[in-house]
Structure 1
Amino acid sequence: MTGASTYRMAPLIRGTLVLLYLVLVLPLAPLAPPSLKPLLLVALPLGLLLVLAISSEQVVLNDDGIAVGHPLWCRWLVRRGWQLPWREIRSITPVATSQGGRVFYLRAADGSAWLLPQRVERFDDFLARFAGHSGLDTTAIGRISPPWTYRLLAILCALMLSAELILGLWLWHQGTAAF
C-alpha cells in the first residue's frame, strides 16, 4: 500500500459532541446572574472552540507508520499526539472498558503502548490499511461504541436543543427572559 491516508473523527461522533456541548451550555447565559453574563459570553465561544479542537483529532497512515495528532490550527492547544513506525509495532492488546466495550493498544518494540483510534471515519478502510501496513490481524477490532449510541445521543441532544430554543423564544416573546 502506498500513499498517505488521513482519517478524521467520524462526523456522527464529532457532531454529537458539539451538540452535547451546546445543549449543556447555551442555557447558562440566560440563567446566569447579570454579573456573570459578560464572562459567559466570552467563555462559551472559547469552550466551543476547545470542543472543536479536541474533536478534530486525525490519524494518518503512510508507508512509514501511523501518526495521531491534530491539525495545525489547534495543535498548540491540545495534546501533541504520537507516531509509531510500522517496524516498531509488535502486537495489538485488547482491554475491556468499564462500560463493557473494548479498546485496543498497539504494543511497540520498546514496551510502550499506544491507544488504537476507534472513532475515525471510514473505520473499515482504516482497519484494512492498518492491517496491510502492520501485518497484524484486525478482524477482532470494532468501534469502541456502536453507531446507534451516538445516533440516539444526537437525536436526544437535537430534541433538547430545540426545546431550549423554543422555550427561550417563548420567554423572550413574553418579556420574562433574562436576556
Structure 2
Amino acid sequence: MSLQRYPMAPLIRFTLISLYLALVLPLPLLAPPELVVWLWAALPLGLALILALVSEQVELSDTGIRVGHPAWCSWLLRRGWQLNWEQITGLTPVTTSQGGRVFYVRTADGSAYLLPQRVQAFEDFLSRFSQASGLSTSSIGRISPPWTYQLLAVLCALGLAAEALVGLMTLQR
C-alpha cells in the first residue's frame, strides 16, 4: 500500500468553519466601542485556529497509521498518534452520550486511540485499514449521519446570509 492521506470530510470542514463565522462575525458589530478593535483582531486568529483544527488528516502506509496535522500547524496542535500495524490488536466500540458509536484502536500494551470517523473517502479508509490491520470494520459507520452536517451547513449559510443582508442594510443608512 502506498501512502494514502485522508483529510477531514469537506462537508464537515465547511460546516465547522461556517459555524465559527456565523457565530463570531457579528460580535465586533454588537460590541461596546472599546472592544471592537480587539474583536476584529481576534477574529482572524480564531479563524486560523479553526482552520488548523479542521486540517487533521489520517495517513495509511505500508508500515502503519498516523493521525495528525500538517506541518504548518502541527507545532500548535501537538495531538495525534501513530501506530505500526503490528501494534494494533483490536477495535473497541464505545457508545457516545448522543447515542452514536465511536471506536478505539487497541494495542497490546492496553493503549487506546480514537479511530477517525470524519474523514473523506471513509469507506476506502475503512477498507484499507481493515486490509492492513486484519481487523473487521464491517460494523463501523460514520459517527453521525451526513444529514446532520448538511442541515447545520444550511443553517450556517442562512445565518451568514442574514448577517450579510443586515450588514448591507446598515451600510446603506
Residue 34 of structure 2 aligns to a residue whose secondary structure is coil
| Identity across matched positions, percent | 65
In the TM superposition, residue 100 of structure 1 has moved relative to its aligned partner by 0.6
Measured in 2, the distance between the counterparts of 1:142 and 1:93 equals: 13
The one-letter amino acid paired with 1:85 is N
State the match for 2:154 in structure 1.
155
Unmatched 5+ stretches in structure 2 = none
- The residue number in structure 1 matching 2:138 is 139
Shift of 1:150: 0.3
User: Which residue does 1:38 correspond to in 2?
Assistant: 37
How do 1:87-98 and structure 2 match up within 5 A?
Answer: 87-98=86-97
1:81, distance to aligned residue in structure 2 (A): 1.1
Residue 113 of structure 1: CA displacement? 0.2
Moved over 4 A (4+): none
Q: TM-score under structure 1 normalisation?
A: 0.95
- Structure 1, unmatched stretches of 5+, are 175-179
Deviations 1:86-128 (A, max 9, x none): 0010000000000010000001011000000000000000000
Q: Partner of 1:7 in structure 2? A: 6
TM-score, normalization: structure 2? Answer: 0.98
Q: Is 1:50 the equivalent of 2:18?
A: no
Match of 2:116 in 1: 117
Report the Cα distance in structure 2 between the residues aligned to 1:79 and 1:143, rounded to whole angstroms: 25
Is 1:106 aligned to residue 105 of structure 2?
yes
Matched with 1:81 is 80
C-alpha displacement at 1:79, in angstroms? 2.5
Secondary structure, counterpart of 1:16 in structure 2: helix
Shift of the alpha carbon at 1:38?
Answer: 1.1
Paired letter, 2:171: W
Q: CA RMSD in A?
A: 0.6
1:173 and 1:76 map into 2 onto residues whose CA distance is 44
